[in-house]
Amino acid sequence: GYDLVLQFEPLQLRHPRREDRPDLHLFLPDELVVVDHRKEQARRYRYEFAADGLSTEGMERSTDAVPYVRGAASEITCDHAPGEYADKVREVIAGTERGDFFEVTPSQVLSAGYAGSPHTLFENIRRTSPSPYEFFINLGDEYLIGASPEMFVRVNESLVETCPIAGTIGRGKTVMEDAEQIRDLLNSKKDEAELNMCTDVDRNDKARICKEGSVRVIGRRMIERYSKVFHTVDQVVGELKDDCDGFDALLSHMWAVTLTGAPKPAAMQKIEELENSARRWYGGCVGMLLFSGEINTGITIRTVHLEDGIAKVRAGATLLCDSDPDAEERETRAKAETFINAVIDADDAKEKSAQIATTGQGKRVLFVDNRDSFVHTLGDYVRQTGAEVVTVRAARSRDGSGARGLRDPQRVFAEFDPDLVFISPGPGTPKEFGVPELVNECVRRALPVFGVCLGLQGIVEALGGELGVLSYPMHGKESTIRCTPEGIFDGFPTEFVAGRYHSLYVVPEKLPECLRVLAQTDDGVIMAVEHRELPVAAVQFHPESILTLKDDLGLRLIAQVIGKLAR
């Protein structure tokens, strides 16, 4: 428990402590089941103990049962009023400016009545928040059920190891958003300073019990991924002095700088003054101490303390001189609320995939493949709208003089009778694939047309426009697109990011009068057009690119195209 530190670090206590509540539970099991997940093997060990002429041999192994008292489900409550934590952040900032301390990690508590079983709670935690240190600890009349991401101290032979975590950012909705979040986290000077201080204090903790010159940082600002957040983590090791062991390592690091602050005595005193209740188990550790001297412990965070039918989750934030009070309050409350919701209401919190309106139901789309490598993804997007997709490959002229996109357009249109003709991207120029001729044929037949990249360029050429060559090719690069949120962009943000693959572009001054620009880049490159009268539209960027994944905008665009253009 957190108060174990009071044995050697006296503080002026503000909160009452119950005398019947121990600060330490040491459990010596006579039976162990050890699971090796890599080998998919499990071993059971049973022991008998003998000392001073006494033995456990033949004795009953089971202990007296302690009945679990279920609570009644209730709304989530917080021990801080709105704005109270932010005020405390301002108080810490003032202290850092005076030089009272460098950083402090105060916390707040969310509580809710819990009507389920502790075991169900543990399984929910494992499913929703898998972590390196997952634990289910039955203390009789209270339980600690958690999934901690952070090691406290690990000792193997003479090597002592810690992995301080400092720097947190939420996960994105997609892998592309995840990548952006990781970049933002690594670029954050505030988060970097936070980890700098934590690692410097951690190195100091080791210098007391490790051999001279053996303390090293072997991992720096490594990214660790969890279900809801990313963390930056350092890895610090040292070699224990000959007269020190794992218990010395535990005591020297008590408690982790990431849960207290720096300098530790001043930070812990401020925590006692700021928090609304004693921490009990939060910020302490759980783990194993082996007779071999090996120690492996995790910090007690991301943990539900279950007692008297009430589930409590405590969460804090490391506060520096440049912390944002309101943001820190939101972060701590979100950390605790997300966790307690996830573990208590896990059955109702299953993620649902994005639902795209079935705008294409009952419609047939003729997909013209201009020998591109993105056609199948685009076709899949169209099929997700519920439309039937028929794909035909365009012919390409060998000499570049031009060829009909479809070898027999009369037969193709007669056979498939499409509700929309979708012209794909492709290499080279539109004329090489006969795209302008195809567009004119569609217009003659009053068929709706949508084009992507080469498709846009072919539509522009068919209607009398001209193309140019970019000074620098945009292949696999993202750009910010500014659009008019109407037509195929109805409901879109006025700015979004999309992927580009093109060297040719529409010369703005040569754009046909019958077309109007719906979107363009910051430097004026046309990114989308639509016909002023006919059901014809196109985009220059690639809706199917991973660079256009954010908020499913690419898929939403295709759904809008099918819904607004198709017959």
Tell me, yes or no, whether 407 and 279 share the same domain: no
Instruction: Verify whether residue 15 is a known catalytic residue.
Output: no
In the chain, the N- to C-terminal Cα span, in Å, equals 69
On whether residue 352 sits in a domain, the answer given is no
On whether residue 91 sits in a domain, the answer given is yes
State the amino acid at position 526 in one-letter form: I
pLDDT for position 415:
86
Tell me, yes or no, whether 35 and 149 share the same domain: yes
Instruction: Give the helix/strand (H/E) hosting 530.
Output: strand 526-531
The residues pairing with 210 across neighbouring beta strands, listed in sequence order, are: 240
Domain that holds residue 139: 2-56+68-346
Tell me, yes or no, whether 457 and 422 share the same domain: yes
Tell me, yes or no, whether 299 and 393 share the same domain: no
Residue 132 DSSP label: S
Rounded CA gap, 323 and 93, in Å? 7
On whether residue 549 sits in a domain, the answer given is yes
Rounded CA gap, 277 and 272, in Å? 8
Match 């990249």 to its residue by tokens. 453
Tell me, yes or no, whether 184 and 301 share the same domain: yes
On whether residue 107 sits in a domain, the answer given is yes
Structure tokens given for 70: 């279920």
- CATH number, position 424: 3.40.50.880
Rounded CA gap, 252 and 124, in Å? 34
Contact 549, 377 (CB under 8 A): no
How many domains is the chain partitioned into structurally? 2
219, 223, 244, 220: which is closest to 160 by C-alpha? Answer: 244
pLDDT for position 356:
58
CA distances from 46 to 30, 137, 340 (A): 6, 20, 36
pLDDT for position 175:
86
Rounded CA gap, 522 and 512, in Å? 21
For 93, residues 6+ apart whose C-beta sits below 8 A from its C-beta are: 319, 321, 323, 325
Contact 365, 422 (CB under 8 A): yes
Strand pairing report for 449-452 and 388-393: unpaired
- Three-state SS for 553? helix
On whether residue 354 sits in a domain, the answer given is no
Instruction: Verify whether residue 542 is a known catalytic residue.
Output: yes
Contact 493, 506 (CB under 8 A): no
pLDDT for position 340:
77
282, 302, 308, 280: which is closest to 114 by C-alpha? Answer: 308
- Three-state SS for 288? strand
- Using CB atoms within 10 Å of the CB of residue 371, give its burial: 0 to 12 exposed, 13 to 18 middle, 19+ buried: middle
Rounded CA gap, 165 and 4, in Å? 22
State the pTM of this model.
0.76
On whether residue 186 sits in a domain, the answer given is yes
Rounded CA gap, 482 and 521, in Å? 6
Active-site option among 103, 331, 530, 544: 544
DSSP secondary structure string for all residues of 193-211: HHHHHHHHHHHHHHHTTB-
- CATH number, position 72: 3.60.120.10
CA dihedral defined by 158, 162, 163, 167, rounded to 10 degrees?
-160
Instruction: Verify whether residue 244 is a known catalytic residue.
Output: no
Question: Which residues, given as ranges, of the chain have pLDDT below 50?
Answer: 346-355, 399-404
- Using CB atoms within 10 Å of the CB of residue 45, give its burial: 0 to 12 exposed, 13 to 18 middle, 19+ buried: exposed
Rounded CA gap, 428 and 58, in Å? 85
- Domain endpoint, select from 281, 316, 346: 346
Q: How far is CA 340 from the centre of its chain?
A: 18
Active-site option among 198, 210, 244, 453: 453
- Domain endpoint, select from 315, 346, 377: 346
Tell me, yes or no, whether 391 and 288 share the same domain: no
CA distances from 490 to 266, 481, 514 (A): 56, 15, 20
Contact 150, 114 (CB under 8 A): no
Rounded CA gap, 343 and 224, in Å? 21
Structure tokens given for 306: 């279950």
22, 26, 27: which is closest to 7 by C-alpha? Answer: 22
Structure tokens given for 245: 């062991």
Radius of gyration of the chain (CA): 32
Rounded CA gap, 404 and 394, in Å? 8
Tell me, yes or no, whether 72 and 216 share the same domain: yes
Strand pairing report for 420-423 and 449-452: parallel
Tell me, yes or no, whether 467 and 331 share the same domain: no
- Using CB atoms within 10 Å of the CB of residue 480, give its burial: 0 to 12 exposed, 13 to 18 middle, 19+ buried: exposed
Q: Is the link from the previous residue into 281 a cis peptide, with omega within 30 of 0?
A: no
Tell me, yes or no, whether 86 and 132 share the same domain: yes
Active-site option among 80, 231, 305, 542: 542
Tell me, yes or no, whether 331 and 368 share the same domain: no
Question: pLDDT tens, 318-366?
Answer: 999 999 999 999 888 877 876 777 666 644 333 333 445 678 899 999 9
CA distances from 269 to 7, 258, 273, 277, 285 (A): 14, 15, 6, 13, 20
On whether residue 6 sits in a domain, the answer given is yes
Rounded CA gap, 227 and 349, in Å? 13
Rounded CA gap, 184 and 305, in Å? 33
pLDDT for position 354:
40
Tell me, yes or no, whether 336 and 373 share the same domain: no
- Domain endpoint, select from 285, 312, 346: 346
Tell me, yes or no, whether 161 and 121 share the same domain: yes
